[in-house]
């Protein structure tokens, strides 16, 4: 287990289409997930995708525990999601602020589907099938975008709503995805 360096926007490895995982419950997969969790926790991130540490596989992790410092943030169960497929349940979109560990110190206002179903597998190959809304849905969409080489700035509709966290939200601590 190790805390890995997180690639930053501009690194071409963040722009690749990641590959499906075909072998589950292997020492290599468990080691990758340990590294991802440890890196995400060390940086107080909400989520992390394998490509962000240079591993080109369709693997994401995310977790939001209730934290009194972020009273508005909904809790999201700790999840390992492999080979995910996201299906919007309707056309409803919601805009909200996002950050990303690959763009440290920045925030942007990003539209996301409000209600989605997501399916995939956990590290042992067991099926995951959830229907979620709001912040949970946003986190999943953000992380899974990384698997297709998409960073959130490309989804911002109004580039005046993109900038440094310290300037946009002075004095506020905010977590990155």
Site residues (vs Ni ion, CB under 5 A): 100, 177
Sequence-ordered alpha helix ranges (H) in the chain: 27-42, 134-146, 165-168
Q: 95: number of CA atoms within 13 Å, CB side?
A: 10
Q: Closer to Ni ion at the Cβ: 25 or 154?
A: 154
Q: Closer to Ni ion at the Cβ: 11 or 28?
A: 11
Give least dist CB 104 to Ni ion, A: 10
Give least dist CB 153 to Ni ion, A: 11
Out of 98, 123, 143, 177, the active site residue is 143
Give least dist CB 49 to Ni ion, A: 7
Q: Is 19 a catalytic residue?
A: no
Distance between alpha carbon 97 and the CA centroid of its chain, in Å? Answer: 13
Which H helix or E strand runs over 121?
Answer: strand 115-121
Contact 155, 97 (CB under 8 A): no
Q: Closer to Ni ion at the Cβ: 123 or 177?
A: 177
Give least dist CB 101 to Ni ion, A: 6
> How far apart are alpha carbons 73 and 176 in whole angstroms?
12
Q: Closer to Ni ion at the Cβ: 24 or 174?
A: 174
Distance between alpha carbon 39 and the CA centroid of its chain, in Å? Answer: 13
> How far apart are alpha carbons 52 and 149 in whole angstroms?
10
Contacts of residue 139, Cβ cutoff 8 Å, sequence gap at least 6: 46, 47, 62, 64, 76, 177
* Catalytic residue set: 143
């Amino acid at each position: 287990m190790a805390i890995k360096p997180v690639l930053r926007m501009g690194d071409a490895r963040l722009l690749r289409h990641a590959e499906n995982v075909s072998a589950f419950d292997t020492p290599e997969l468990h080691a990758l997930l340990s590294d991802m969790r440890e890196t995400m926790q060390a940086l107080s991130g909400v989520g992390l995708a394998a490509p962000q540490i240079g591993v080109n596989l369709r693997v994401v992790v995310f977790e939001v525990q209730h934290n009194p410092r972020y009273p508005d943030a909904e809790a999201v169960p700790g999840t390992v999601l492999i080979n995910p497929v996201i299906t919007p349940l309707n056309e409803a979109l919601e805009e909200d602020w996002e950050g990303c560990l690959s763009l440290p110190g920045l925030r942007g206002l990003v539209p996301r589907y409000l209600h989605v179903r997501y399916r995939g597998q956990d590290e042992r190959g067991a099926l995951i099938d959830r229907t979620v809304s709001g912040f949970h849905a946003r986190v999943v969409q953000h992380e899974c975008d990384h698997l297709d080489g998409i960073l959130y700035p490309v989804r911002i509709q109004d580039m005046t709503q993109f900038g440094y966290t310290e300037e946009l939200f002075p004095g506020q601590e905010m977590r990155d995805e």
